[in-house]
């Protein structure tokens, strides 16, 4: 698969930021949003909230991740990049408690995690979107987003069934929160539409809405812009930055469009064949010879 946003310049070196269709298409993303983002980050220098130490994960004979260590700071946008099969989605699945690494430690908000389940991750404020959209296609946008509130339901089954007393108040609170998310992501017009009828780009936005409905403090996004056209990508970039700025949500982002990654992330970790080959600011990663080699292929 070709790397979007990375081309070889006249001097044989890769050209990154600005080569992306998204970044190149809007002066706003290149200038305004970037500057605004830098400002927001200066205000919100965060502590390490997730520390992954020497993580190794294999499936039978396949080593998906080998001895990977990196951390995530509160309020930052942390990108994970790397070629197909590098182990990016596996890493998100480890953070989310879907996969349990054979080796390594995971410390989240000061506590070491042992055999955590995805529902525990949700309860701890971690929400995610998937590489392949995971929504109920026959259900409306509104109902899909409502499922994002599941981990927050408190009233018992009986009270909910009778829609009685506290359950009723709770339902109202959930509905209100969902409406806020719908307004925030500007999807009022499609709130009653079955998800399966929506174009792909909008389905991705609905999936983000479902994740946001859980009011996460950490959001894991697995290729939120894959398969989108330029305009849809611009919108998605804008929403990701808005979520980060307005709610202070920490974001771990897997994305193949390098222009986007270089523009909106604070730090980038680079995986290749299940190993970490780079980690740092976009500038540092761009200059890393191992990363350049992985991107442009051997011989460059």
By beta-carbon proximity to Mg ion, the closer residue of 88 and 276 is 88
- Candidate ranges 36-44, 56-64, 166-174, 278-286; the one touching ligand ATP (CB under 6 A): 56-64
Residue 250 in contact with Mg ion, rule: CB under 5 A: no
Alpha-carbon torsion, ordered 89, 269, 29, 256, to 10 deg: -40
User: Which of 33, 52, 64, 218 lies at the binding interface for ligand ATP (CB under 6 A)?
Assistant: 64
What's the closest the beta carbon of residue 17 comes to ligand ATP, in angstroms? 21
Tokens read off for 138? 């026959």
Residue 84 in contact with ligand ATP, rule: CB under 6 A: yes
Residue 198 in contact with ligand ATP, rule: CB under 6 A: no
Tokens read off for 10? 């006249």
Tell me the DSSP string of 237-266.
HHHHHHHHHHH--EEEEE-S-HHHHHHH-S
Residue 69 in contact with ligand ATP, rule: CB under 6 A: no
User: Which of 20, 26, 30, 89 lies at the binding interface for Mg ion (CB under 5 A)?
Assistant: 89
Count of Cβ atoms closer than 10 Å to residue 202 Cβ: 20
Residue 201 in contact with ligand ATP, rule: CB under 6 A: no
Residue 96 in contact with Mg ion, rule: CB under 5 A: no
Residues with Cβ < 8 Å from 250, sequence gap 6 or more?
A: 46, 49, 50, 72, 73, 74, 75, 76, 78, 217, 218, 219, 244
By beta-carbon proximity to ligand ATP, the closer residue of 5 and 82 is 82
Count of Cβ atoms closer than 10 Å to residue 165 Cβ: 10
Q: For helices 34-43 and 230-247, what crossing angle results, to 10°?
A: 20
Distance of CA 241 to the CA centre of its chain: 11
* Residue whose token pair is 């499936």: 59
User: Which of 82, 101, 125, 278 lies at the binding interface for ligand ATP (CB under 6 A)?
Assistant: 82
217 binds, among Mg ion, ligand ATP, none (CB under 5 to 8 A by kind): none
Site for ligand ATP, residues 111 to 150, rule: CB under 6 A: 131
286 binds, among ligand ATP, Mg ion, none (CB under 5 to 8 A by kind): none
* Binding residues for ligand ATP (CB under 6 A): 59, 62, 64, 82, 84-90, 131
Residues lying near Mg ion in the complex (CB under 5 A) = 88-89, 131
């Amino acid at each position: 698969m070709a790397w979007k946003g990375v081309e070889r310049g006249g001097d044989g070196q890769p050209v990154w930021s600005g080569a992306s269709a998204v970044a190149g298409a809007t002066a706003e993303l290149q200038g305004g949003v970037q500057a605004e983002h830098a400002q927001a980050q200066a205000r919100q220098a965060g502590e390490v909230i997730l520390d992954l130490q020497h993580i190794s994960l294999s499936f039978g004979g396949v080593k998906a991740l080998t001895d990977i260590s990196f951390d995530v700071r509160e309020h930052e946008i942390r990108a994970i990049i790397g070629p197909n099969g590098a182990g990016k989605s596996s890493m998100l699945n480890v953070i989310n408690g879907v996969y349990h690494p054979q080796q390594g430690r995971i410390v989240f908000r000061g506590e070491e995690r042992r055999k955590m389940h995805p529902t525990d991750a949700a309860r701890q404020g971690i929400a995610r979107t998937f590489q392949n959209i995971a929504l109920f296609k026959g259900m409306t946008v509104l109902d899909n987003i409502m499922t994002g509130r599941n981990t927050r339901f408190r009233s018992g089954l009986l009270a909910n069934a009778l829609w009685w007393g506290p359950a009723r108040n709770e339902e109202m609170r959930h509905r209100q929160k969902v409406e806020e998310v719908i307004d925030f992501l500007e999807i009022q017009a499609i709130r009653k539409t079955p998800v399966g009828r929506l174009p792909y780009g909008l389905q991705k936005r609905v999936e983000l809405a479902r994740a946001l409905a859980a009011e996460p403090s950490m959001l894991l996004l697995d290729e939120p812009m894959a398969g989108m056209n330029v305009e849809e990508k611009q919108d998605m970039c804008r929403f990701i930055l808005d979520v980060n700025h307005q709610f202070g949500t920490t974001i771990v982002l897997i994305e193949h469009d390098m222009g986007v990654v270089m523009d909106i992330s604070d730090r980038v970790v680079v995986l290749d064949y299940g190993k970490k080959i780079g980690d740092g600011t976009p500038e540092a990663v761009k200059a890393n010879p191992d990363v350049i080699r992985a991107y442009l292929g051997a011989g460059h």
